[in-house]
Each structure stands twice: as structure tokens, then as C-alpha cells.
Amino acid sequence: MYNYKNVDINLLQGDITKLEVDAIVNAANNTLLGGGGVDGAIHRAGGREILEQCKKLGGCPTGEARITVAGDLPARYVIHTVGPKYKIDKNKEVFLKSAYTNSLNLADDYKLDSIAFPSISTGVYGYPIMEAVDIALQALGEKIDSGTNLKKINFILFSEEDFNVYKEAFDKKLL
Ligand code: APR
């Protein structure tokens, strides 16, 4: 779909739990003990092994990222990150950008080639997707400019509507 400084960037529509990438990113909550949305889907599809590891992590502050095994998922790892709650958290732009940046940094720490992001915070946490996609693109561009081992960075949207919002923003910025 797009390429920026030799990194392939793909927009996909569908279920992140099906992706065979090195790491899928989970839009978790601070407890890391599961929930609804993509968090629920990942724990349901990945199985107990993920939750067992999450329990040992003792939670995750908003904007930070933690990595676990992927259990029964086709991915090798799950990177759990916690986005801001739009109506509650101050500095929500900073927290959302950090969630993307820290997930990318963790992927680099583990020398991963490929990663897939859901649209962090734009579901239960209520972040307007038109605002969120620009922050995701900022984090993406800054990370690639600063250097990464990643070869493929995917963004997967659950609904066609969300996919189209991302596509318009990505076309404007990356084509
Ligand atoms: N694959 C890809 N994307 C998905 C999937 C899936 N299987 N399921 C949901 N999504 C999309 C939603 O449509 C939304 O666009 O993920 C995006 C993020 O929505 P949420 O999962 O609600 O995550 P978030 O808004 O960050 O809220 C996090 O919700 O599930 C709880 O435990 C989680 O408390 C935390 C909160």
C-alpha cells in the first residue's frame, strides 16, 4: 500500500487476531487483565497463556507498552498498550502518541520485522478517529525517521468506515 524510507506500511480491514505478523498490538486497559473490544478478541483467540503472563506484569500505565507471548494466535507476540480515555485523560494526544511510539520501540527492542496496530483508543475510550489517525501517523513518521528495524507496519481497522477514514489520511500523508 505505502512505503516510507523502505518500511512497508499497510492498511487492512478485518480482525487483528487473524494476522500472521511478528506482533499484534492490543488496545488494553491499565490492569492488562482483559476487557471488551480488541482486548477481548485477543484474549479469547489467544487463550489463557496471554492472561497468565499479563498477570505477572502488574498492569501498564497509560501510554506505555508491555509484551507477552501470543498463545494460540498466529502472531508471535502481543504488545499490550494502553491508550488514553478521550473524555477523562489530560494530555490525551501525548498519551496516544506514546502508546504507538512505545509499541514500536518495544518491537525494535525485540528485533521484530512486522507489527500490526488496531485503532487505539477509538472504541470504548472514545477518541474521535479523525483526530486519532493523525496522531498515529505522527508517531509512525517520527519513529521511521529516527530509525527502525521494522520492515512492515500494518494498521488494521475493524469497520469499513474506519478503514476509509484511515485511507484518506494515509493517502494524504504518504502518497
Ligand atoms: N480486530 C481489529 N480491530 C478491532 C477488533 C478486532 N478483532 N475489535 C475491535 N476493534 C477495533 C474497534 O472497532 C476500535 O476501532 O479496535 C479499535 C479500538 O477499540 P477498543 O477495542 O474498544 O479499544 P479502546 O478504544 O482503546 O478501549 C480500550 O476497551 O476493550 C476494552 O479492555 C479494553 O478497557 C479497554 C478499552
Question: Helix axis angle, 37-46 relative to 48-57, nearest 10°?
Answer: 120
Which of the listed residues 21, 29, 33, 38 should we mutate to test ligand 1's pocket, taking the one with most ligand atoms within 8 A of CB? 38
Mean pLDDT on 17-22: 98
The string of DSSP codes covering 129-158 is HHHHHHHHHHHHHHHHHH----SEEEEEES
- Whole-model pTM: value is 0.98
Interval 138-153: pLDDT, tens: 999 999 999 999 999 9
